Amino acid sequence: MTMFEAILLTVITASTPLLLAAIGELVVERSGVLNLGVEGMMVMGAVMGFAGAQWTGNPYAGIVCAVLAGMFMALIFAFVTQTLVANQVASGLALTLLGLGLSGMLGEAFVGQPGIKLPALDIPGISDIPFIGPVFFGQDLLVYLSFALVVAVTWFLFVSRTGLKLRAIGDNHVSAHALGIPVVRYRYLAILFGGACSGLAGAYLSLAYTPQWVENMTAGRGWIALALVVFGSWRPWRVVVGAYLFGAVWISQLHLQALGSGIPSQFLSSLPYIATIVVLVLISSNRRLSLINTPAALGKPFVPER
């Protein structure tokens, strides 16, 4: 039971940044915008979260800095794609490259410094219960926030009037505009929300997962988060399942290496990315299912005057 508990706890820590980033990108894509800059926003959240915690001595201040950094990067993407109507794919890739380069420069002074770990929730008498306490009542704030965001996003998209308008924009922005819905404003807000979630995911990496700053510490998690949105067919609860499946794959390769399985470590390290490719191939093979769930206006530019 102790070993199972330890594995489950590590799966939770590996899955949380994926879930945070993916749930934000899901809202962005539901609005009809494809932002491939998740990796860049995550890594900027990681470096600014670590920096904010170092400057103030408070990890919660680091979370605020990470959210602001993610939103700033998202604002750049929103301005380029929604105001200047640039290509979304090219702009997202450029945002990732910008984030990786800028984070390396800003984080150079923090390399090798000990981090300030985000404290776990501690409820006297409950957190000490074997298995149940550590797993359900001994996590940090961002783990609970990730599930709260899933519930909030589900309610917003499928119950609230504003969420209905956002989904309408993602399916047909021309018709939504004709009905008087401010398409660009809604997309700006969705992109900023996605940036905030990516910043939170980055903060989790540098403040909870491994409380330190290492250049390029996101290690491709932003790309996996993008794949999770497709894996979950743009449904929040399916994204949760996908995030924890991918988190389990991520952790399994670490445990296999630690056990000395004899399998080359390079192959084990590539397992999460191989799983991502396999899942995307399987999903894309069912074209009818993909077309039903994909927002029809995804990646298409919108210019009201045209």
* pLDDT given for residue 283 in this prediction: 72
* pLDDT given for residue 51 in this prediction: 96
Q: Which of 68, 55, 32, 94 is nearest to 213 (CA)?
A: 55
* pLDDT given for residue 265 in this prediction: 66
Coil, helix or strand at residue 102: helix
Cα within 13 Å of Cα(122), Cβ side: 3
Number of domain units in the chain: 1
Q: Which two tokens stand for residue 138?
A: 């001994």
Tell whether 286 is covered by a domain.
yes
Domain that holds residue 259: 2-293
Tell whether 198 is covered by a domain.
yes
Tell whether 305 is covered by a domain.
no
* pLDDT given for residue 120 in this prediction: 87
* pLDDT given for residue 79 in this prediction: 97
* pLDDT given for residue 165 in this prediction: 97
Distances (CA, A) of 43 to 62, 123, 286: 14, 32, 33
Tell whether 81 is covered by a domain.
yes
CA dihedral 69, 72, 76, 82 (to 10 degrees): 130
* pLDDT given for residue 277 in this prediction: 81
Instruction: Please name every residue paired with 25 in a beta bridge, in sequence order, or none if there are none.
Output: none
Q: Which two tokens stand for residue 76?
A: 């750049």
* pLDDT given for residue 251 in this prediction: 83
* pLDDT given for residue 40 in this prediction: 97
Cα 227 to Cα 29: distance, rounded to the nearest angstrom: 12
CATH number at residue 230: 1.10.3470
- 231-286 pLDDT per residue, tens: 888 999 999 998 998 888 888 877 676 666 667 767 767 777 787 788 777 777 77
* pLDDT given for residue 127 in this prediction: 72
* pLDDT given for residue 21 in this prediction: 97
Tell whether 306 is covered by a domain.
no
Tell whether 275 is covered by a domain.
yes
* pLDDT given for residue 204 in this prediction: 97
* pLDDT given for residue 154 in this prediction: 97
Residues in the chain with pLDDT < 70? 1, 255, 257-262, 265, 268, 287, 289-291, 305-306
Residue in the block written with tokens 């927002």:
295
Tell whether 299 is covered by a domain.
no
Q: How far apart are the first and last CA of the chain?
A: 63
* pLDDT given for residue 2 in this prediction: 76
Tell whether 302 is covered by a domain.
no
